[in-house]
Amino acid sequence: MSEDFNSENKRLIDRYTEIARLAGGLAHEIKNPLSTIRLNMELLSEDFAEPQNQRERRALRKIEVVERECQRLQDLLDDFLNFAKVRQLHREPTNLNDQVQRLLDFIRPKAEEDGIEIIAYLASDLPTVLIDREVLHGALLNLVLNAQQAIENGGQLVARTYATPDGVALELIDTGCGIEPDACAKIFDAFFSTKSGGSGLGLPTTKKIIEAHGGSISVQSEPGHGTQFKIKLPVPARIAAEDEGTSEEP
């Protein structure tokens, strides 16, 4: 039974890897002619930089529309390539608090500029987790940037860590505008977005990265009151045993 499960699991992983490779290749093929189009539109924009008549002004407006759409397509392709990427994680033993503190220090200047108060409740007894620090930083950064955008006229962003029976947890809570129930149910679906012009790939990519670490992410939200994302990460048995060993009295 176990061999059958492992065989099926490997088959699904290989199939996903092949699909991801093909999708990534297609996206790269689209980017090449897109770059040519963007370059030629920039040259045309320079040619019409000082329109002499109504016809040239209309042409310039059309060029600007095409340039904006090219940029939007470029951003979408970049987000898709990031989502479809098959990542090889380079995991290191890490205290999640250090990762969270790094994240909060990074966003603090912009948060203070926007009148957002950052509050951290970081448990002192967290067990060590195995994570790819840079990859997980990118995933968490996407969450806090979304939170900052949701908070209007000041507010709070709270980060809380604590131990769980089988690992650690991180809660990111904002006092922003919240998310409607229908949207909340689809928030991790690829290409679903509540933001105008959004690619709808940021949160699915974050979910994919957390799951690649063996973790999970969930969301709770109340329109008009705020949103809470909860991330759980496992502690490998060997790491957990080592943490227990170092905590024992001599």
Whether domain 2-84 has CATH 3.30.310: the reply is no
Tell me the mean pLDDT in the region 100-117: 91
Sorted by where each begins, the domain ranges of the chain are 2-84, 92-241
CA atoms 190, 192, 193, 197: torsion sign = positive
pTM above 0.75, yes or no: no
Whether domain 92-241 has CATH 3.30.565.10: the reply is yes
pLDDT at 5 over 50: no
178: tokens are 């919240």
CB of 229 within 8 A of CB of 143?
yes
More confident residue, 87 or 57: 57
Residue 202, pLDDT score: 81
Band of pLDDT at residue 117, cut at 50, 70 and 90: very high
Alpha-carbon gap, residue 237 to 222, rounded angstroms: 37
pLDDT at 114 over 70: yes
Residue 87, pLDDT score: 65
121-to-42, 104, 159, 203, 234 alpha-carbon distances in Å: 49, 12, 6, 24, 20
Alpha-carbon gap, residue 203 to 194, rounded angstroms: 11
pLDDT at 239 over 70: no
Do 2-84 and 92-241 come out as alike in CATH topology?
no
177 φ/ψ angles, rounded to the nearest 5 degrees: -75, -15
130 membership: H or E segment, kind and range: strand 129-131
CB of 244 within 8 A of CB of 121?
no
Tell me the mean pLDDT in the region 84-112: 87
Band of pLDDT at residue 51, cut at 50, 70 and 90: confident
pLDDT at 241 over 60: no
More confident residue, 78 or 102: 102
